[in-house]
């Protein structure tokens, strides 16, 4: 659990973060969204003390984060940034091993962990371990950056616009990888982005920031249904709102009894994908299957009802 209590940061006269408080539940993904200059990155960097707050307290599992020296604290918090920040003079394996080496792990344990992480990120250890960062593609560099952040098995992972430099296709893949990894390790992730779409897709909860203030802290469904201010509404983009709402839920929950013609969609696909397929193919209904067995159908009418503003 991460408790952020009345955090304020001033640079001279300018207040970049103003009295922000919220609690991040363990094993969840919290996304901090805001425009540039909203103070979101500063807030993130105060959690691992790359920036020291002017006032307020941040507690990790009940302990003030100032209880240990800053470098000690950071070794136990994963940190991944935009543009990966890999060390250009070290190989991929050396980069990933950075924190375990700082923590004084045994060599065998480090090697095993590096190989495990490389495999997890679909990079062959024998091929990619000895390479230098500039020999990798952008997507590969980003994966190594996240692997390095996870190397010492941290409970908390901080990510500052980790996918900002990636093209849309690789970006979508990286987001899926992150969700899978979060599920596997149960890491508490706090991620900063300016992209509301990414926030809705990844976040269990979303913290919207504007001009240093926390405007709204809620689940994606709540943010979509009841944006706290016109600013939040602008961030969501009113035109995309119904589709974003549909993207939050699986087809499973929209299944109606009955059958339909055509190729079946898996129950785990999002309702947004189902609606898109229906509209594109000009049909009224599609069959849905789970584990290879038909379980019913989804209809345009049913999905449209679900896309309406919740009461």
Q: Does 266 bind other proteins (CB under 8 A)?
A: no
Closest-CA residue to 199 (of 212, 211, 186, 215): 215
What's the closest the beta carbon of residue 98 comes to other proteins, in angstroms?
5
Contact present, 91 and 129 (Cβ < 8 Å): yes
d(CA 284, CA 278): 7
What's the closest the beta carbon of residue 135 comes to other proteins, in angstroms?
7
Dihedral (Cα; 118, 119, 120, 123), 10-degree rounding: 60
- Tell me the window of 1-9, 12-20, 126-134, 267-275 that interacts with other proteins (CB under 8 A): 126-134
Tell me how far apart the terminal alpha carbons of the chain are, to the nearest angstrom: 31
Long-range (24+ apart) CB contacts under 8 A made by 217-226 are 217/22, 220/244, 220/248, 221/245, 221/248, 221/310, 224/200, 224/248, 225/309, 225/310
- Tell me the window of 141-149, 258-266, 271-279, 295-303 that interacts with other proteins (CB under 8 A): 141-149
- Tell me the window of 18-26, 132-140, 171-179, 213-221 that interacts with other proteins (CB under 8 A): 132-140
Choosing from 87, 109, 127, 226, the residue that interacts with other proteins (CB under 8 A) is 87
Choosing from 9, 20, 79, 285, the residue that interacts with other proteins (CB under 8 A) is 79
Q: Does 135 bind other proteins (CB under 8 A)?
A: yes
Choosing from 9, 84, 171, 297, the residue that interacts with other proteins (CB under 8 A) is 84
Q: Does 125 bind other proteins (CB under 8 A)?
A: no
Instruction: Mark residue 262 as left, alpha or beta (left: phi above 0; alpha: psi -120 to 50; beta: remaining).
Output: left
φ/ψ of 7, rounded to 5, equals -80, 130
- Tell me the window of 9-17, 65-73, 184-192, 282-290 that interacts with other proteins (CB under 8 A): 65-73
Would you tell me which residues interact with other proteins (CB under 8 A)?
A: 48, 50, 71-76, 79, 81-89, 98-99, 102, 132-135, 145, 148-149, 158
């Amino acid at each position: 659990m991460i408790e952020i209590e009345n955090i304020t940061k001033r640079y001279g006269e300018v207040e970049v973060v103003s009295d922000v408080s919220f609690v991040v539940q363990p094993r969840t993904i919290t996304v901090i969204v805001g425009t540039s200059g909203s103070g979101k990155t500063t807030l993130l960097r105060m959690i691992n003390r790359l920036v020291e707050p002017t006032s307020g307290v941040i507690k990790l599992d009940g302990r003030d984060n100032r209880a240990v020296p800053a470098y000690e604290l950071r070794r136990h918090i994963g940190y991944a940034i935009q543009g990966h920040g890999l060390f250009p003079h070290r190989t991929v394996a050396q980069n990933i091993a950075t924190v375990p080496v700082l923590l004084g792990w045994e060599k065998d344990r480090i090697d095993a962990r590096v190989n495990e992480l490389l495999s997890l990120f679909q990079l062959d250890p024998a091929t990619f371990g000895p390479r230098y960062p500039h020999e990798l593609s952008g997507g590969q560099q980003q994966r190594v950056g996240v692997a390095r952040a996870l190397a010492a098995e941290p409970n908390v992972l901080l990510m500052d616009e980790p996918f900002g430099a990636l093209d849309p296709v690789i970006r979508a893949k990286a987001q899926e990888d992150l969700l899978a990894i979060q599920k596997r390790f149960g890491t508490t992730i706090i991620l900063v982005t300016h992209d509301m779409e990414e926030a809705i897709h990844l976040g269990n909860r979303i913290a919207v920031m504007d001009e240093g203030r926390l405007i709204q802290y809620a689940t994606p469904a709540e943010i979509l249904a009841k944006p706290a201010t016109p600013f939040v509404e602008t961030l969501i983009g009113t035109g995309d709102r119904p589709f974003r709402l549909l993207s939050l839920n699986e087809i499973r929950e929209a299944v109606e009894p009955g059958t339909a013609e055509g190729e079946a969609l898996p129950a785990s696909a999002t309702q947004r994908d189902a609606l898109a397929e229906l509209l594109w193919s000009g049909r009224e209904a599609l069959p849905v299957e789970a584990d290879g067995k038909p379980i019913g159908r989804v209809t345009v009418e049913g999905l449209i009802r679900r896309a309406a503003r919740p009461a």
